[in-house]
A = this chain, B = another copy of it.
Amino acid sequence: MEHAVEAIKKYKRFLVTAHVNLEGDSLGSQLAMKELLEALGKKAVIVDSDPVPGHYKFLPRADEVSNNIDKKLIFDAVIVLDCPTLRRIGRVRELLKKNKPIINIDHHISNERFGGVNWVHPNASSAGEMVYRLFKNMNVPITKEVALYLYIAILTDTGSFNYDNTSSITHEIAGELLGYGLDPALVSERVYEQRSVADLKLLGLVLSTLKLSDDGGAAYLVITRKMLKDTGVDVSRSEGFINYARSIEGVKIAALFKEDPKDRKRISISFRSKGDVDVNSLASCFGGGGHIKASGCTMEGSLSGVKNKVLSKIKEVLHGRNISFK
């Protein structure tokens, strides 16, 4: 952390960025970082490859997150938040210049140390928790807005304090942040209760495809192109659907097969595991990857062909026995 603090003190104008497909942590940690830098008398611009998702537009200053890759942008250093690899910042790579140092602040254990300064803290629940520590270390007062950004970062990245990145410290910080005048129920409504009727209709259709292996150790769901067309829902709204397959008692591996809405020969597959089953190596068998408990890959072929290949591999991973899905 000391090197990150030094670098922040040293430079004047910052480009702040994070990974593609913005969510609570990448967005909250960037907005809080901008406030930190401004409180220190610095200039900061947030540029991301993807837009702010609709349900986060209520955040103060969310409209200052730019998606404009303006090559004339002037800055002294780049702060990259919540990114294990530099590839994950997407189009913002075009703004990077050889002589502009990168400050890499991340909590992913797989972080590739791509920065000039690398503060990687895998025990932190979220990038937001790391930015919280910067506020404390640099004696910058936390405002209600900053508390909101950091609380949302922690809330969403811990799955409401249910994932294994939740610790006593996570709760201590969340408790302190609520103390700045946040209403947890109101935040929860804004973040989580923004579904559409079509989203729920799609969920209903996807749940009707649920299949369980005959030994109960694996379950899968399918999203077809037709379902997306019939409901008019964007496939990005299906985030979290796979957790329904994972939530079945006894299931160790859950899979979600998604037909690509545009490319008829492309299927993307998400994996989740419970207990100590490693779906990172499962996904890597098909050229994908991720974390031990959450991973994914993309394959070419028909839905049934891809399904057969993946389900055979799942059986192998689980116990090499010949199990079937019902």
Contacts and interface: CB of A to CB of B under 8 A. Distances in A.
Interface in A172-208: 172, 174-176, 178-179, 183-186, 188-189, 192-197, 200-201, 203-208
Nearest to A160: B160
A168 interface: yes
The bracket for how many chain A residues form the interface is 35 or more
Interface in A147-167: 155, 159-164, 166-167
A39 B21 CA distance: 52
B193 A204 contact: no
A274 interface: yes
Copies of chain A in the complex:
2
Interface in A200-232: 200-201, 203-208, 210, 212, 219
A200 B164 contact: no
Nearest to A207: B204
A195 B207 CA distance: 13
Given A171-B175, A172-B175, A210 B184 contact: no
A135 interface: no
A189 B208 CA distance: 23
A249 B160 contact: no
Contact of A195 (B169, B204, B248): B248
A197 B155 CA distance: 28
11 contacts: A162-B185, A162-B188, A164-B183, A167-B175, A168-B179, A192-B247, A197-B210, A200-B244, A203-B244, A204-B207, A204-B208
